[in-house]
């Protein structure tokens, strides 16, 4: 194992780890505020490492949805990771075994994928493991500390910490939505679809898990139909 490449990956992943810590602190506080034990919340983060999937999963758990709805929702929300892992595998070479590839796939989040693909040198196992190391520690540690803090802090502060999730999503969605109309259209479609399931009498009976799946697939399908990506753009 090349410790030099591992250390290089650690340096690249440090900013992501710091960002993950702040966001996962909000997840831990939100979980504790809804009766989830601190160690259980940390275990969720340690075995998932997916922000949107975990927040959606927590929402479904609290709503008492079925296991199949949970599985279907997670498949839809996290399906992008399969495509991202395929892209990474094409940069890694053929001599990397199955177990290292599984470990790298586990660490393959949106931010880590972006850093890995931007690396001009060929991707190696030590570099990718180092790249995902600090984000994993930050995400898990932030969840644990957030859950511990959320279990002792006053209710008003716990509620304020729960707003961090919405602030994160706004920070992620608004900048690209202002620049590209296809992103804005996808956000608007998902918002309208979600409002329909929240307010329309007949649709209000649909469970939370199924409504998330329908809104996600519908917004993605309509956006893909209205704003198809040309082959030359995809190649770039």
DSSP letters for 13-35 = HHHHHHHHHHHHHHHHHHHHHTT
Give CA–CA dist 155/87, Å, rounded. Answer: 44
pLDDT at 151: 79
To 5 degrees, how large is the angle CA 20–CA 143–CA 103?
A: 65
Which has the closest alpha carbon to 124: 102, 104, 149? 104
Give CA–CA dist 149/143, Å, rounded. Answer: 10
Range of the domain at 31: 3-164
Q: Is residue 104 part of a domain?
A: yes
Same domain assignment for residues 38 and 111: yes
pLDDT at 235: 47
Same domain assignment for residues 71 and 138: yes
Same domain assignment for residues 202 and 151: no
Q: Contact, 123 vs 116, CB < 8 A?
A: yes
Q: Is residue 174 part of a domain?
A: no
To 5 degrees, how large is the angle CA 118–CA 56–CA 140?
A: 60
Same domain assignment for residues 23 and 131: yes
Q: Is residue 22 part of a domain?
A: yes
pLDDT at 162: 63
Q: Is residue 9 part of a domain?
A: yes
Q: What is the pTM of this model?
A: 0.73
End-to-end, the C-alpha distance of the chain in Å comes to: 32
pLDDT at 76: 82
pLDDT at 11: 93
Same domain assignment for residues 215 and 146: no
Listed in sequence order, the residues at least 6 apart from 208 whose beta carbon sits closer than 8 Å to its beta carbon are: 59, 60, 63, 65, 69
Radius of gyration (Cα) for the chain, nearest Å? 19
Q: Is residue 90 part of a domain?
A: yes
Domain's final residue, options 164, 194, 215: 164
Same domain assignment for residues 11 and 44: yes
Domain's final residue, options 110, 131, 164: 164
- How many domains does the chain fold into? 2
Q: Is residue 150 part of a domain?
A: yes
Per-residue pLDDT of the chain (236 residues; tens, 9 = 90+): 578 889 999 999 998 898 889 888 888 888 888 889 999 999 999 998 887 788 888 888 888 888 888 888 888 888 888 878 888 888 876 677 888 888 888 999 888 888 888 888 888 889 999 999 999 999 999 999 999 988 787 777 766 666 665 666 676 678 778 888 888 888 899 899 989 998 998 888 887 777 877 888 888 889 889 888 665 554 44
Q: How many CB atoms lie within 10 A of CB 9?
A: 28
Q: How many CB atoms lie within 10 A of CB 28?
A: 29
């Amino acid at each position: 194992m090349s410790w030099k490449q591992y250390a290089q990956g650690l340096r690249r992943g440090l900013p992501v780890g710091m960002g993950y810590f702040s966001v996962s602190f909000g997840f831990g506080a939100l979980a504790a505020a809804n009766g989830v034990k601190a160690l259980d919340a940390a275990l969720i983060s340690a075995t998932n490492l997916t922000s949107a999937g975990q927040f959606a999963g927590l929402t479904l758990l609290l709503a008492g949805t079925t296991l199949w709805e949970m599985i279907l929702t997670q498949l839809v929300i996290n399906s992008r990771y399969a495509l991202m892992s395929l892209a990474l595998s094409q940069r890694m070479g053929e001599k990397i075994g199955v177990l290292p590839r599984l470990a790298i796939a586990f660490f393959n989040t949106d931010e880590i994928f972006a850093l890995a693909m931007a690396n001009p040198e060929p991707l190696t196992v030590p570099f990718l493991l180092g790249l995902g190391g600090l984000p994993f520690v930050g995400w898990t540690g932030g969840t644990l500390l957030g859950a511990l803090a959320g279990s002792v802090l006053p209710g008003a502060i716990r509620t304020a910490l729960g707003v961090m999730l919405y602030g994160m999503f706004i920070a992620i969605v608004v900048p690209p939505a202002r620049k590209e109309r296809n992103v804005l259209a996808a956000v608007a479609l998902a918002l309208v679809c979600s409002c329909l399931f929240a307010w329309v009498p007949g649709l209000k009976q649909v469970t939370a898990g199924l409504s998330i799946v329908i809104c996600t697939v519908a917004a993605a399908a309509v956006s893909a139909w209205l704003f198809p990506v040309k082959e030359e753009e995809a190649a770039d």
